[in-house]
Amino acid sequence: MNPLNSKPSRFVASLANLPSLAMKVVFALVVCLIVGCTDNSPPSQFVVDVSEPSVQVEVGGHLVGAPVAAAFEEESESNLSVRSIVSQTESKPAVRPNYAPPDGRPPILAVQMSDTTAFGVPIGNFSDQLLLMRNDGAIQRIPKPEIVQQTVLNDRFRSIERNELSQQLRAEFGRNYLVKNEPPYLIVAKSEHINDWAQRFRGLQHSFKLYCTTHGLLTREIEFPLVAVVFGSRNEFLKYAHASGVKLPEFCVGYYFSDSNRILLYESDESSAKETQMTICHEATHQLAFNMGLHQRRASSPLWVIEGLATMFESPMLSGLQSREGKSLWPATRKHTWQSLRKSPESIQRIVTGLIQNDKAFESDFQNAYTVAWAMTTYLSQRRSQQFGSYLQKVGNLPPFEDYALTIRVSDFQSAFGSDLKLLTNKIIKHLETLE
């Protein structure tokens, strides 16, 4: 089972003010989501397939090979045999890419439907749907019955120009919103606050890059503009989520939508600053980590490493934001849970063991799961940087759309960090005692 089939949730409580902005944003409980397209579809994973590295090229962090050839092979095969329809579930692709374009950039595939035509590169070809990476970095899911014709164009696939995407966003969000071109971001927000948002996102991006550089984590250039949408009200936010097919839990205040590759949040007068800042940083870290190659969409990377990294950047020190907490590396919401867990190293070790094996704790015991995931990521990235960097690469390069078998998942972890989990737990505990 895909480890991200279950939507991860993160809840933070406590209220505070947001002095740096004129407005406040509502957060009683914060729910972090990395969501896929529909409520049943597997949330966010990046495609990287290293099983055939010599014949693939990278598009937006996806290794694709002969997307066009793959699409056509599937078409011809489907004439010979009837494939079962697997609703929205992403089973294995019916045909794996097997051809590399000579210039390193795949040709664009035009997929004609009855009322519109989509352009992009197929990254997953299933019996029931085609997943097309568009030039704005979004993944479009096209039901197979809707496809009328597919045509290979002479043009090669490239990211959309920032100005062109700006115009599209202006048309999409209307005249009540501005679009600010703040590389690598395109920020959609109300005019009065847009500069504050730009400053925030840039601050976090700077901090994230710096952390990766100082800790030897390999990154790649961001290929597509990063779209961040800040709605003017919760109603607009919910309406947009609904129209996108995303079912949000109650109290959800922001999310990274892996299909569109956008982060979405809202501002309001009743909110709490601390939670707002943390949520923004958490979701923006997901977006950066996926777009800078630390994780890959559609690969089954363990959730502890994805959520651990995002939670790390909630801390005042790493968020890149001014804060009354100064330079603490502690995310405010993790302190209390950790202090409680700290009384029982055996409990911590039990949770560590569980997170290494699977992602179930993020459903059944989410507070402890997020806290221990953060603790593991903090210790491993700071004290075992080299192994952590290699481990990130390994799990980010897992074959797309495939389960991460438990035995391999555990063995990959042990190869990187050893099998003595009692020792590891003790080291994590000791390291956190040194954190300011």
Q: Which of residues 32 and 108 has its CB atom nearest to Zn ion in the complex?
A: 32
The phi-psi region of residue 411 (left if phi > 0; otherwise alpha if psi is between -120 and 50; otherwise beta) is alpha
Helices 406-417 and 385-396, packing angle to 10 deg:
160
- Among all chains, which residue has been given the structure tokens 């390994």? 394
C-alpha span between 332 and 59 (Å, rounded): 37
**Interaction of residue 373 with Zn ion, rule CB under 5 A:** no
- Least gap, CB of 282 to Zn ion (angstroms): 5
**Interaction of residue 303 with Zn ion, rule CB under 5 A:** no
Q: How many residues bind Zn ion (CB under 5 A)?
A: 3
**Interaction of residue 241 with Zn ion, rule CB under 5 A:** no
Q: 39: which DSSP letter?
A: T
Stretch that binds Zn ion, among 115-123, 207-215, 304-312, 375-383 (CB under 5 A): 304-312
Q: Which of residues 205 and 285 has its CB atom nearest to Zn ion in the complex?
A: 285
Stretch that binds Zn ion, among 27-35, 136-144, 211-219, 347-355 (CB under 5 A): 27-35
Q: Could you count the other beta carbons within 10 Å of the beta carbon of residue 266?
A: 22
- Chain position whose Cβ is nearest to Zn ion: 32
Q: Which of residues 286 and 409 has its CB atom nearest to Zn ion in the complex?
A: 286
Q: Which of residues 111 and 395 has its CB atom nearest to Zn ion in the complex?
A: 395
Among 18, 32, 289, 373, binds Zn ion (CB under 5 A): 32
Q: Which amino acid is at 60?
A: G
- The span from the first CA to the last CA of the chain, in angstroms, equals 39
**Interaction of residue 310 with Zn ion, rule CB under 5 A:** yes
- Least gap, CB of 286 to Zn ion (angstroms): 6
Q: Which of residues 195 and 244 has its CB atom nearest to Zn ion in the complex?
A: 244
Query: Which residues touch 8 (CB under 8 Å, ≥6 apart)?
Result: 32, 33, 34, 43, 303, 306, 307, 359, 362, 366
Instruction: Give the side-chain half-sphere CA count within 13 A for 312.
Output: 25
3-class DSSP state of 265? strand
Q: Which of residues 32 and 273 has its CB atom nearest to Zn ion in the complex?
A: 32
Q: Could you count the other beta carbons within 10 Å of the beta carbon of residue 323?
A: 18
Stretch that binds Zn ion, among 272-280, 300-308, 336-344, 416-424 (CB under 5 A): 300-308
**Interaction of residue 178 with Zn ion, rule CB under 5 A:** no
- Least gap, CB of 316 to Zn ion (angstroms): 18
**Interaction of residue 12 with Zn ion, rule CB under 5 A:** no
**Interaction of residue 369 with Zn ion, rule CB under 5 A:** no
- Least gap, CB of 148 to Zn ion (angstroms): 38
Q: Which two tokens stand for residue 98?
A: 């097997």
Stretch that binds Zn ion, among 138-146, 172-180, 308-316, 402-410 (CB under 5 A): 308-316
Q: Which of residues 179 and 241 has its CB atom nearest to Zn ion in the complex?
A: 241
Q: 1: which DSSP letter?
A: -
Sign, CA dihedral 371-368-15-434, equals: negative
Paired with 119 in beta bridges are 110
- Least gap, CB of 259 to Zn ion (angstroms): 16
Residues that bind Zn ion (CB under 5 A): 32, 307, 310
